[in-house]
């Protein structure tokens, strides 16, 4: 292990690092940290708290990982940060542990691309294959679904949810939930259509995209209440079983949209 550790790095003897972990100059790693094989910790990074990091992650210089929540209710409880595999974190990213007022854990899954100056607050849950562009700021308890893209300089209100395969434009302000598959932008953030280009890149068929466009119209263009829109989407599920899984993704999201969804 010593051959991969820069001599200026400070690593607590209690930390658990795979022998293949690389630690750069002046990085600091605390006692309750576990780091998996192939992960690289860049210069001047701080990794502390009760933090578990999986395989093949890369942290660029000056990241702050596992810091305590920026929440006045936090009283030093042993809450956690859990990071999966193959994520990239660029310069000055900050990731905080959870709070006991929620599940006590912040989670980031696999294959995410997190750009410079992003802040992921306490109790956030980030799926896989997401992109958080430069200076995205996530308040506490935010959920981001798989394959979502959040544009640079976007602020997300605490407890908001961003659905799978959605995309928000840069400099947006999210105060409510953004449904899956939706393209959105603005301050306040508003829906502007279906994320068609993103869906094509991920192998969605023309029939899939057509069905999701119809679903978007049901939710946003027909003047229906959310309950009525959900009922019509369920009816479409029965009539079009080939796209039922995608409609179920929408329904599952809408069923727990406690903050309400973004509106035109």
- Which residues are catalytically annotated? 122-123, 140
| Cα gap 113→93, rounded to integer Å | 11
Angle formed at CA 120 by CA 142 and CA 168, multiple of 5 degrees: 60
| Cα gap 199→99, rounded to integer Å | 35
Which segments of the chain does DSSP mark as H helices, in order?
A: 196-201, 206-220, 226-239, 244-255
List the structure tokens of 232: 């019509």
DSSP secondary structure of 167-228 = EE-TT-EE-SBB-TTEEEETTTTEEEEE-HHHHHHTT--HHHHHHHHHHHHHHHTS---HHH
| Cα gap 18→252, rounded to integer Å | 39
Question: For residues 157-196, b (16+ Cβ closer than 10 Å) or e, as one string?
Answer: bebbbbbbbbbbbeebebebbbbbbbbbbbeebebbebbe
List the structure tokens of 1: 């292990």
| Cα gap 67→59, rounded to integer Å | 15
């Amino acid at each position: 292990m010593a051959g991969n550790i820069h001599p200026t790095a400070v690593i607590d003897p209690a930390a658990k690092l795979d022998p293949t972990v690389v630690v750069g100059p002046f990085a600091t790693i605390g006692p309750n940290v576990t780091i998996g094989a192939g992960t690289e910790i860049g210069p001047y990074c701080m990794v502390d708290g009760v933090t578990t990091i999986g395989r093949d992650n890369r942290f660029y210089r000056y990241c702050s990982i596992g810091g305590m929540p920026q929440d006045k209710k936090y009283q030093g409880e042993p809450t956690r940060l859990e990071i999966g595999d193959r994520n990239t974190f660029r310069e000055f990213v900050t990731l905080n542990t959870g709070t006991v007022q929620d599940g006590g854990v912040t989670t980031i899954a696999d294959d995410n691309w997190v750009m410079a100056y992003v802040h992921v607050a306490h109790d956030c849950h980030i799926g896989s294959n997401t992109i958080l562009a430069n200076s995205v700021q996530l308040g506490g308890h935010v959920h981001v679904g798989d394959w979502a893209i959040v544009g640079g300089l976007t602020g997300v209100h605490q407890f908001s949810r961003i659905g799978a395969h959605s995309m928000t434009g840069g400099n947006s302000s999210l105060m409510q939930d953004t449904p899956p598959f939706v393209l959105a932008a603005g301050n306040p953030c508003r829906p502007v259509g279906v994320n068609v280009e993103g869906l094509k890149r991920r192998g969605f068929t023309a029939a899939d995209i057509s069905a999701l466009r119809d679903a978007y119209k049901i939710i946003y263009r027909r003047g229906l209440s959310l309950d009525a829109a959900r009922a019509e989407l369920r009816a479409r599920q029965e009539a079009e079983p080939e796209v039922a899984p995608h409609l179920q993704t929408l329904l599952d999201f809408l069923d727990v949209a406690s903050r309400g969804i973004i509106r035109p």
